[in-house]
Amino acid sequence: MNSDEIISNSPEETQAIAKSLVESRPDLCTIALHGELGAGKTCFVQGLAAALDINEPITSPTFTIINEYDGTRKLQHMDLYRLSSPDEVLALGFEDYLSENSIIAIEWPDRAEELLPAETVHVYLKAMDQPDCRSITIRSKK
């Protein structure tokens, strides 16, 4: 799925866009979430969780690096912000996570760029002039 730029006008709309991505792509595995601090990456993951019937609150794994949730599919939520090299990402057992049948949502995926599977869906979030607006673009090879 390659989307044109989608404009989200609220956190709820960003979550709804994430939810429709899960619903339109049952084969979805790895999602790389690109965007600056506060762009809405964790907000997007909250929408993924809603699509998987996960009712726990989704909080940022900035310090834990990985949070795992059980839903209709397992969700692994990673925030690689504090890591600086692919070696550190590998040391987390990154490749083992990829081999599980879970949805893996990765914030700050540039830390792991060369480790991402080719079928990764890339989501680009960008702040806009109005405070609650975000530009969202979704790109994948398929």
Binding site for ligand ATP (CB under 6 A): 8, 10-11, 13-14, 35, 37-43, 60, 79, 107, 132-134
Taking CB atoms, the residue at the shortest distance from Mg ion is 42
What is the dihedral sign for C-alpha 74, 59, 136, 111?
negative
| Residue 35 binding target from Mg ion, ligand ATP, none, CB below 5 to 8 Å by type | ligand ATP
Residue window 123-142: x/- pattern of binding to Mg ion, with contact defined by CB under 5 A = --------------------
Scanning 13-21, 96-104, 107-115, 124-132 for contacts with Mg ion by CB under 5 A, the matching segment is: 107-115
Cα-based distances in Å from 78 to 110, 124, 127: 12, 16, 21
Please give the full DSSP string across 39-73, using - where no structure is assigned. SSHHHHHHHHHHHTT--S-----TTTSEEEE-SSS
